[in-house]
Structure 1
Amino acid sequence: MSDIRHALLRRDPLSAAKEVLYHLDISLGSALQSAPGPTPGLDKSTVDLVEEFIFQVSKDRSVQRKRMSCVQELQLLEIMCSYFQEQSKDAIRQVIFSALFGLQGNKADESRMSVLGKLVSMAVAVCRVPILDCAATWLQRTHSAWCVRLARVLVDDYCMLVPCSISTLQNICSASPRFCCQLISAVTALYDLSSDELTPPPALLEMVVGWITEDPRLLLLTFINTPLTSSLPIGCLEVTPLMGLLRWCVKAPLAYQRGRKSTVTNGHVDTEKVGECEELYSKLHLSVLQVFLMLQVHLTEQNLLGRLAVLQAESVAVLVEEVSRLVDELNPLHAANEIQLALDRLAQALQVAMATGALLCTREDLRTLCSRLPHNNLLQLVMSGPVVQPPPHSGPFQPSLYPYIHPARPSPLSPHATHQAALSSPHAAHPALSPLPTHPALSPHRSLTPHTAHSPLPPHTFHPAAMAFPYRPIR
């Protein structure tokens, strides 16, 4: 390998980088074809060549090398785009992409991330689907801290620097939905609404809501296509963007109310833009609830209902804690309406997630989680409403259902309904009301006599006040 290195040192930086890329293709491609199975790894000498001649991180400080100019770096990105586009075998593409941009935990990782951000941004601009699919796999298997950095590059390029270019990124959804699904997970991890700077830009929010509104199944794409046997690295992104989007919907009213305070002190409030964002969050919340229903169908078909939690209880606990802190911060601001809206959305999402099997959590655990939150009628109903519990040892978990609080009203065609109305009416003895079509034997000129067959029925059997309601609000 030293001979190859000395030969590469005599070349210009761009030519040397091209040579290393083709060397990777030959060595890893042939290894993958000759021994199908686990992904072949790179030996240390090959990793050193990649880092030195592609990412410009020299291992030998005594050797002074020329670095690539901006034009040469752009040419290298074009060469990479062409290579991944022309490589017809997806397995080889994935192996080469992982060999190039798999993080090693050394100082070359910064250069890897710099080149990766530019490459993916270029792939979005020229719609190179093979690179976007490889980037989707990278986002799925890499620590979320690095995924957030890649997401920030794309948001800066297409939402901040040139806002009108957001349509270019938006059109990628139809070309590579896998990449868009992972990108949503990454941007929700980036913009957690913990501060005004980490609130999603309106253009990004509108794009994400447009994607999901057009096809809500996009959020489940990675989850459905990921084998259950595959173990993802610790700290990677969520298997679905649902938790991140739920955080957006719940915290948005509180975060924007906090933002109003800072804008008021600066002397300007863009009420029109705030109103548009509120409407977008409302649409997003509805879409998230719809995706939970779709998820129940998939879990049922795969016999995973009650056995696989898509929303982790730990993540829900973190969200509740964040909401609690925001509520404490906004209490002096008289944000009662915003607080109740946030709690309403949280309660709706928790109930639907539990009913569809996406969240495996008992009511007792839910009460413990939400005990610090302010009073909210809907949230209290979710935490302590009447629930039909399945009998013990009855098989797999089934979602709890709310029973009817009151019994069904009798049908108007039922004789019980007619007799009950007659008994309960204060004008039952009036001659004009005495003829009943269902009792032709009764004389229209004599007063009605009580029907002894129905005497055990009290006059207000079906009145709601007569029913015992087990719901007790939490104090």
Structure 2
Amino acid sequence: MGILNKLVSFAVGIPSFTVLMVASVWMQQWGNTSPNSCKLAETFINDYFCFHSGSLDRLKVLPNICPQFTANLMTAIADNYFGVTKKEFLFPPKRLLNIIIFWISNHSSLCTAAQEKAAILPPGAIAMDAVTPIAGLLKWCVLAPIYKEDSAEYSRLHLALLNSILEIPRSSPPKAIYAQHLAYCINPILTYAGDLKTKQELKLNQILSESALQMSLDRFAQAIQVAYSMCSIYGHVDDFFNQLKQLPFNKSLNIVINTYKKE
């Protein structure tokens, strides 16, 4: 794995479409959020954002060279940060955040690139569906305010993702955003609201007007509304909207839930 990770990292720098395309298929077959794929993403981040502080020009053109690899890489990267099950939370380096914003802002269909073209596999092999990076990156934007990481970059990323969702081709059934991946944001928000009550001893009206909480809920509501209007959410959608009812009151989110209920 160490050699493979270094090979892929090296292929980004050359760049080598062939190696990156094979790596993209490999990640997809393992699962874009599998430990192996996340470790590959970690090596890439260390090589280009932690140990090397040079120009990012070479990385800016990565979507032009191999959009499928870039999309799968973003999915793995998104899973490496803002983890909701880890004791210690890791946040993406600002330079990484900026390059992802650049990628998505300048390539509106990049997030679904790995789904648009079937992976080339040996005869008899079953191609695994690609998980898009949309839900994982939205998690960053939604949770950033309550983790006090709400720099301007997260607002820009949120806008880029909303524009990207608007460009998703309609498909039947939908395949772009898995409902339970979107639901990852719910428990951290509930935990934060609970801490406001128990640790800060805020009253209900103070909790509901707390700025970080409301910004988080606003972003979540906007993303759900756009994704739902584009028919891009799949999975247990009814269960997902029922889970949303647990969240503290937010005007935008309430409208989204009621609209779904009516339809």
Conserved 8 A contact 1:216-1:291 = yes
**Unmatched segments (≥5 aa) in structure 2:** 120-124
Tell me, yes or no, if structure 1 residue 137 matches structure 2 residue 29.
Answer: no
Of 251, 254, 262, 2:143 maps to 251
1:124 matched residue in structure 2: 12
- Helix, strand or coil for the counterpart of 1:254? coil
Q: What are the Cα deviations for residues 426-470 of structure 1, in whole angstroms up to 9, with x where unaligned?
A: xxxxxxxxxxxxxxxxxxxxxxxxxxxxxxxxxxxxxxxxxxxxx
1:225 matched residue in structure 2: 117
Tell me, yes or no, if structure 1 residue 380 matches structure 2 residue 260.
Answer: no
Q: What are the Cα deviations for residues 165-192 of structure 1, in whole angstroms up to 9, with x where unaligned?
A: 5443333232222221111111001113
Partners of 2:262 and 2:236 in 1: CA distance: 13
Matched AA of 1:328: G
1:186 matched residue in structure 2: 76
2:100 matched residue in structure 1: 208
Partners of 1:177 and 1:385 in 2: CA distance: 35
1:109 matched residue in structure 2: none
Matched AA of 2:225: Q
Partners of 1:318 and 1:293 in 2: CA distance: 22
Note the C-alpha offset of 1:130.
1.4
Of 28, 40, 48, 1:158 maps to 48
Pair 1:353–1:338, CA change in 2 (3 A): same
Partners of 1:200 and 1:360 in 2: CA distance: 27
RMSD: 2.7
2:153 matched residue in structure 1: 280
Pair 1:197–1:168, CA change in 2 (3 A): farther
Partners of 1:176 and 1:361 in 2: CA distance: 28
Partners of 1:321 and 1:165 in 2: CA distance: 38
Pair 1:360–1:219, CA change in 2 (3 A): closer
Please say which structure displays the higher CA radius of gyration.
1
Note the C-alpha offset of 1:133.
1.4
Tell me, yes or no, if structure 1 residue 239 matches structure 2 residue 146.
Answer: no
Matched AA of 2:159: L
Partners of 1:180 and 1:367 in 2: CA distance: 31
Partners of 2:212 and 2:178 in 1: CA distance: 26
Note the C-alpha offset of 1:330.
5.2
Q: What are the Cα deviations for residues 246-290 of structure 1, in whole angstroms up to 9, with x where unaligned?
A: 111111111226xxxxxxxxxxxxxxxx6xxx2221121122222
Partners of 2:237 and 2:109 in 1: CA distance: 29
Of 165, 168, 180, 1:314 maps to 180
Note the C-alpha offset of 1:367.
4.9
Matched AA of 1:211: W
Conserved 8 A contact 2:81-2:90 = yes
2:189 matched residue in structure 1: 323
1:399 matched residue in structure 2: none
- Helix, strand or coil for the counterpart of 2:232? coil
Q: Relative contact order (alpha carbons < 8 A, sep ≥ 6): 1 or 2 greater?
A: 2
Conserved 8 A contact 1:193-1:248 = no
Note the C-alpha offset of 1:341.
0.6
Note the C-alpha offset of 1:327.
3.4
Moved more, 121-130 or 205-214: 121-130
Partners of 2:235 and 2:17 in 1: CA distance: 40
Partners of 2:89 and 2:49 in 1: CA distance: 14
Note the C-alpha offset of 1:328.
2.9
- Helix, strand or coil for the counterpart of 1:169? helix
Pair 1:386–1:191, CA change in 2 (3 A): closer
**Unmatched segments (≥5 aa) in structure 1:** 1-112, 258-273, 390-475
Partners of 2:192 and 2:59 in 1: CA distance: 32
Pair 1:221–1:330, CA change in 2 (3 A): farther
1:338 matched residue in structure 2: 212
Matched AA of 2:218: D
Q: How many positions carry a matched residue from both structures?
A: 246
Moved more, 152-161 or 348-357: 348-357
Pair 1:313–1:362, CA change in 2 (3 A): closer
Pair 1:162–1:345, CA change in 2 (3 A): same
